[in-house]
Amino acid sequence: MKNPNLKIYLLSALLIALYSCNSNEEAITNSTHAASQFKVINVTHHDGHAFSTGKTPSTTGKYVANPGGGVMMQAFYWDVPSGGNWWNTLSTKVTAWSNAGIGSIWLPPVSKAQNGPFSMGYDPTDYFDFGNYNQNGTIETRFGSKTELVSLITKAHSENIQVYADMVLNHNSGGQLENNPYTGTQTYTNFTGVASGKFPRTSADFYKNAYGNNDEGAFGGFPDLAHVTPNVQNWLWLRSDGVGKYYKNTMKFDGWRFDYVKGFGPWVVKDWNANVGGFSVGEYWDSNVNTLEWWANNANSSVFDFACYYKMNDAFDGNNLNLLNDDMMWKRNPHKAVTFVTNHDTDEIYNKQLAYAYILTHEGYPTIFYRDYEEWLNKAKMDNLIWIHNNKATGTTSILYADNDEYIARRNGYNGNPGLVVYINNSSSWQERWVPTNWTNAQIKDFTGNSTWLPTTQGDSWVKIQSPPNSYSVWSINM
């Protein structure tokens, strides 16, 4: 179902005189815009404030929350080098990331897991072992020691970067065998001997148990935590020395990425947020925007915008940019939509640079994938898009034009910030279009540098812009 808040206006204008734009483009002020129909779709629900990253300005940090909101870095990928040096590697990156405009980093699960020095952390054993206990065949985690983790968080905060922990609350691994009265068998559900001595749990804390046979979902055959049990609730989010409050108040994490939230009810994240606080985003892997919105509202949390992800994949790789007119979470509620191009689990979009141009100019809280930024894409182009997002991408969104190869949208500005017009061109040749802007009799420029035009908007705010082949341009007032 389309967003009922979308207002569709059909604007048409008769071509009186045709002018081709040259490098000066001053002559545009005397011409009239081309006769083409624009379907202008206004997304009117966003007030233009920065998104809920929880960031506050700092006089010492290099990044300050700007009108466009924050940019998150997923600071890992699947199978990052083992050996306990990843936290140190990230510590060498955060100053440059802050200088580029990154406002937060998302870390992999930080606690000791069953696979010890080789685990990516998604099979948690001891939530309070950050690489400081000899357990599961190692003292350090795959990523490093507790001391190195604390040093990374401290360094990130000194650069005014927030740090989000990846929380795996659905399942546990690495427990000892015990006689399970609920199954009549032996199960690996005895976690009373974890090295930290904290969050002891037994078969009574996993499904099936006295509370029932199951909840919303189990994963990988691991013991499935029963969040309805008082012991689990106490240790995860209620106790002052429990997981959530220890991570926030002692380890100094600023927020949470919740793994596999399909596995338990949204009330779990809602209760965590109410008792612990901090930014939160859930991995509800579903392309149905109605389902994403339902989960975000009931969890009182942001959610990864998988609807946007799959639409971008079909649009950019399938040469059908019309699909960007379709409904997505960022259009429903941009304050609860975390947009992304790829992550450690899925990497389907081939035309990534255009996808990043899309999420970094549109509403939502955009996430950049470590390998895209550090290894695979042009870092200068990425830095440019981050700057554009932080400084120009403000206000509501109006989709001005879309066909198979071209997509043009306008951010309408907010509180004195002029906004922008983004032109994405997925064809093999330069394209030009007349578009309605927010600006009257104003010189504009392409802040990507992909076009050298310096056109001036007409008295009715229309202007002719261009975009290079298989690329994009981003226009705003030349100031």
Give the annotated binding-site residues: 170
Q: The tokens of 119 are what? A: 């685990």
**Amino acid identity, position 56:** T
Active site annotation includes 215: no
Q: Find the angle CA(323)-CA(325)-CA(328) to the nearest 5 degrees.
A: 90
Q: Give the number of other CB atoms < 10 A from CB of residue 350.
A: 10
Active site residue 129: no
Quick one: tokens of 396? Answer: 């509501």
Range list of H helices, 266-321: 266-275, 289-299, 306-317
> Please, how many CA atoms are within 13 Å of residue 406, restricted to the half-sphere of its CB?
18
Q: Cis peptide leading into 208, omega within 30 of 0?
A: yes
Q: How far apart are CA 76 and CA 344, in angstroms?
A: 8
CA 57 vs. chain centroid, Å, equals 21
The active-site residue out of 259, 293, 374, 406 is 259
> Quick count: other Cβ atoms within 10 Å of Cβ 322?
15
Beta strands at 337-340 and 206-207: parallel, antiparallel or unpaired = unpaired
Distance between CA atoms of residues 455 and 443, nearest Å: 6
Distance between CA atoms of 357 and 402, rounded to whole angstroms? Answer: 15
CA-CA distance, 52 to 18, in Å (whole number)? 46
Q: Centre a 10 Å sphere on the Cβ of residue 289 and count the other Cβ atoms it contains.
A: 23
Token look-up 């056109």 returns 455
Residue whose C-alpha is closest to residue 376's, from 341, 345, 405, 407:
341
Q: Which two tokens stand for residue 208?
A: 């099936």
**Measured between alpha carbons, how far is 395 from 391 in angstroms, rounded to an integer?**
12
Cβ 243 vs Cβ 251: under 8 Å: no
Which among 283, 293, 305, 327 is annotated as catalytic? 283
Binding residues for Ca(2+): 170
Dihedral sign, Cα of residue 356, residue 454, residue 65, residue 410: negative
The sheet with strand 420-425 has its strands ordered as 7-11, 38-43, 397-402, 406-411, 420-425, 471-477, 444-446
What angle do helix axes 306-317 and 289-299 make, rounded to 10 degrees?
150
CA distance 370 to 78: 11
Active site residues: 259, 283
